[in-house]
Amino acid sequence: MPTILGQNQYGKAENRVVRITRDGDTHHIKDLNVSVALSGDMDDVHYSGSNANVLPTDTTKNTVFAFAKEHGIESAEQFGIHLARHFVSSQEPIEVARIRIEEYAWERIATSDGNSKFIGADEVKHSFVRKGQETRTTQITFDGEKWEVISGLKDLTVMNSTNSEFWGYVKDRYTTLKEAYDRILATDVSARWRYNWTDDEQRMPNWEKSYEQARKHMLQAFAETYSLSLQQTLYQMGSRIINSRSEIDEIRFSLPNNHHFLVDLEPFGLKNDNEVYFAADRPYGLIEATVLRDGVEPKIPVDLTNL
């Protein structure tokens, strides 16, 4: 049967680059995992094997490291923008560049005498520990004219030990779940948000501040919402970000419901007054939804694993 070539891209995935900025004795770390994907006039390499339009993936790897030195890493977003612009503007066959970045945060180690984990003594200026569980993410796409920046995080584990209920749901012959009027609500947040910055004529967001503020509003909404369902909490988290950050138009969540079931202690003559739970890791409920600014069309893919 005749065949034709469909959508395609190529590049170098998961380039692990660590950039140390030395401010005298004080060091600062940016730790990134950068994946480059390029597409454009690439039919010949698939049909005939001609590499005339192919920039080697080894070159894209080298570019990542060279740019870390030449441009520094102010933020994951800014670094991705530098790379995407370079690949599209410097190579005529390349029409679209997509840069995906994961950032791993570090914080300074506290001194043994209890000093602040931030700079306060000589020994903390160059010693770090990986910060928390979350991984910061970003994806930058550039077609030579327009930008698309989708940032977010994954593996941010949160829990409310009260102020959560679940009752009034549909019941049929297979329903065994008991209604809960005081339960644990826990999840591992995966979130992606889309910026409305699309071209160089617009004022570029402050990427570092925007991430910090989006994360702050997300956590505040989770903590402050008296939840009757994880869906309700999700919507409040997204709404808080959209209403507080004018540079963000869309946010998509994937929230597993990390179930905690009360343990039956009656066989041991003990009363379990919402104190002892079994933490089940699977199966789990999975709640996913997008929250949008009114009048904005959704563009973030439904499957977050494709980002």
Q: Which of 30, 61, 154, 259 is catalytic?
A: 259
Peptide bond into 205 cis (omega under 30): no
- Rounded Cα distance, 134 and 143, in Å: 30
How far apart (Å, rounded) are the C-alpha atoms in residues 179 and 167? 5
* Pairing status of strand 277-279 against strand 260-262: antiparallel
Q: Is 57 a catalytic residue?
A: yes
Residue reference for tokens 């004529």: 201
User: CA-CA distance, 103 to 134, in Å (whole number)?
Assistant: 9
Cα-to-chain-centroid distance, residue 252: 10
End-to-end CA distance of the chain: 33
Q: Which amino acid is at 231?
A: Q
Of the residues 57, 111, 135, 141, only one is catalytic, namely 57
Q: Note if 260 is an active site residue.
A: no
Q: Which residue spans within 226-283 are E strands per DSSP?
A: 248-257, 260-262, 277-279
Contacts 24+ apart (CB under 8 A), 237-243: 237/191, 237/291, 238/289, 238/290, 238/291, 239/291, 241/193, 241/214, 241/217, 241/291, 242/291, 242/292, 242/293
Paired tokens of 208: 């570092």
* Structure-token pair, residue 48: 């005939």
- The residues assigned a catalytic role are 12, 57, 259
